Amino acid sequence: MENFANTPLQHLFKAISQAQNEAELRGSIMTEVGHYFAASRWGLHFRDQVADVDQDASGIMRLALSLDYNPVLRYVVQRHTAVHDEVILPPGVWQKICPRADHGHVMLGPIVSHNQLMGGIALTRHRDAAAFDANDLADLSALCLHCSARFATLRSQQITFGVDCDRFTHREAQIANLVAQGLTNKEIGEGLWITENSVKKALKRMFRKLQVSSRAEIVAQLSMETAIAATSKKGNASWLIIGRLNPEYQPSTKHQH
């Protein structure tokens, strides 16, 4: 049993279970997953972060996210199961659909929560490399199970800001919550499939709307507003919400009029 626990696949299971946030899952852990499968490109993407593809996204990106154009993605969305291109297409057909050399072979797996498809793991290999096979598919299916479980745990621990929709756009609200998770502009851009420059522009607009000058002030102000809104519904114990977002915050001991 000990030998089985020390396999590269088991190492990935352990790394996933210990991930502290979604950024870690998308970053260092997905890099290990990519290397495990000898992939040329890899990524972990969440559906709520790509539902509204930014105008900066290329035409190729829009096609890749189109269920009408991408049969591999359509298969995963419809069946919530991992698949590679040669399971559903004759050899070589995928390369006609996607002519990029580093996307010569593709494999996708679902991230699910409460019977809903929340995202997926995507891997590609160069057209000159070996195609993905049944063993790869079995391993990806197992990794998706572990990622789905960890994803559900992390999401249950998150505090989502009660952002005023009249002030922030949907995209700005997404960025605000990712800022609160400690992601860099680059990581936010990758997670939302927008450019880093688009993130910077959005943050500048948010600074003006909130009349603040830093990311930390955005988090602090939105944390306070979320807690105040929760207080009206749940009582004064809602200061604990702020404590989770901002460990330095303590509730005022003064009587509030």
205-257: pLDDT as tens digits: 999 988 998 888 888 888 777 666 555 554 433 323 332 333 333 333 333 44
What is the CATH classification number for the domain harbouring 201? Answer: 1.10.10.10
Neighbouring C-alpha atoms within 13 Å toward the C-beta of 219:
20
What is the CATH classification number for the domain harbouring 21? Answer: 3.30.450.40
Note whether residue 144 is domain-resident. Answer: yes
Residue 209 and residue 185 in one domain: yes
Q: What is the DSSP letter of 132?
A: P
Give one DSSP letter per residue of 84-97, joined into a string.
EHHHHS-TTHHHHH
Note whether residue 251 is domain-resident. Answer: no
pLDDT of residue 88: 96
Residue 152 and residue 178 in one domain: no
Last residue of a domain, one of 136, 157, 178: 157
Please indicate whether residue 201 or residue 161 has the higher confidence score (pLDDT). Answer: 201
Note whether residue 116 is domain-resident. Answer: yes
96-112: pLDDT as tens digits: 888 889 999 999 999 99
- CB 132 within 8 Å of CB 123: yes
pLDDT of residue 48: 60
Q: What percent of the chain has pLDDT over 90?
A: 41
Last residue of a domain, one of 157, 178, 201: 157
Residue 118 and residue 70 in one domain: yes
Last residue of a domain, one of 109, 136, 157: 157
Residue 202 and residue 150 in one domain: no
Residue 179 and residue 151 in one domain: no
Residue 72 and residue 107 in one domain: yes
pLDDT of residue 236: 39
Q: Which two tokens stand for residue 15?
A: 């790394």
Q: State how far the Cα of 31 lies from the Cα of 41, in Å rounded to an integer.
A: 9
pLDDT of residue 49: 58
170-179: pLDDT as tens digits: 788 888 888 8
Which amino acid would we find at residue 130? A
- Residue 114: count other Cβ atoms within 10 Å of its Cβ: 6
Note whether residue 162 is domain-resident. Answer: no
39-82: pLDDT as tens digits: 999 999 877 655 555 455 556 666 666 788 899 999 999 999 99
16-35: pLDDT as tens digits: 999 988 888 888 999 999 99
Helices (H), 65-133: 71-79, 85-88, 93-97
- CB 108 within 8 Å of CB 120: yes
Which residues span the domain enclosing 94?
2-157
Residue 65 and residue 91 in one domain: yes
